[in-house]
């Protein structure tokens, strides 16, 4: 059997709140990263505050939250985070969130590889039916990456975001279990 958590460029590894809160505090100093990741107003948190937020979030999501850190296979470097939140167990639908915090690893296929691993985990380990994500119109790099792993465009919230003096849509994308299995058989 395949190692489910190991891809071509990265592996999904344990989410250690101590380590990740420090990484989050560092990555979030980059306002561009935050804007790609999040719709709310940008703010900076200490690693201690990040840790507190993580612990609250984790206890709220249990047992529907699955979080991983992303490490490169080559240098075992921590470059990002990825997580699933099962929003509806009856429908077996989950939201996925992904961020590559280390900007040196942008546009090189690392995010795509991590997303592929997470889809494999979601469909073959958690046995989910579909995965949903939202992405901002001004993030074409992410949109391309999601299209590559098989996500389809399902809808948009028009002009939801106000960034840099203009309004942008939030896009909804989704992939079904059968579609993913077909792409990866």
- Shortest separation between residue 126's beta carbon and other proteins, angstroms: 6
- Shortest separation between residue 65's beta carbon and other proteins, angstroms: 11
Nearer to other proteins, 40 or 127 (CB): 127
Nearer to other proteins, 14 or 87 (CB): 87
* Rounded (5°) CA angle 60-18-108: 95
Nearer to other proteins, 55 or 125 (CB): 125
Nearer to other proteins, 28 or 120 (CB): 120
Q: Contact residues for other proteins (CB under 8 A)?
A: 63-64, 86, 89-92, 125-127
Sign of CA dihedral 124, 128, 129, 131: negative
> Could you identify the residue written with the tokens 């990555």?
27
- Shortest separation between residue 128's beta carbon and other proteins, angstroms: 9
- Whether the Cβ atoms of residue 154 and residue 174 lie closer than 8 Å to each other: yes
The number of residues in the chain equals 185
Phi, psi (degrees; rounded to nearest 5) at 102: -85, 110
Q: How many CB atoms lie within 10 A of CB 109?
A: 15
- Shortest separation between residue 162's beta carbon and other proteins, angstroms: 34
């Amino acid at each position: 059997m395949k190692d489910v958590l190991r891809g071509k460029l990265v592996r999904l590894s344990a989410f250690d709140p101590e380590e990740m809160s420090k990484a989050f505090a560092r990555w979030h100093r980059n306002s561009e990263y935050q804007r790609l990741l999040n719709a709310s107003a940008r703010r900076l948190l200490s690693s201690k505050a990040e840790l507190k937020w993580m612990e609250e979030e984790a206890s709220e999501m249990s047992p529907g939250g699955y979080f991983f850190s992303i490490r490169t296979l080559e240098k075992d470097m921590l470059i990002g985070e990825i997580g699933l939140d099962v929003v509806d167990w009856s429908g077996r639908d989950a939201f996925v969130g992904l961020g590559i915090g280390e900007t040196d690893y942008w546009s090189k296929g690392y995010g795509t590889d991590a997303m592929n691993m997470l889809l494999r985990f979601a469909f073959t380990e958690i046995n989910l039916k579909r995965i949903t994500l939202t992405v901002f119109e001004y993030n074409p790099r992410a949109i391309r990456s999601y299209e590559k792993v098989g996500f389809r465009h399902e809808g948009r919230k028009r002009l939801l975001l106000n960034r840099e003096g203009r309004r942008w849509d939030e896009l909804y994308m989704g992939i079904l279990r059968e579609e993913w299995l077909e792409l990866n058989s």
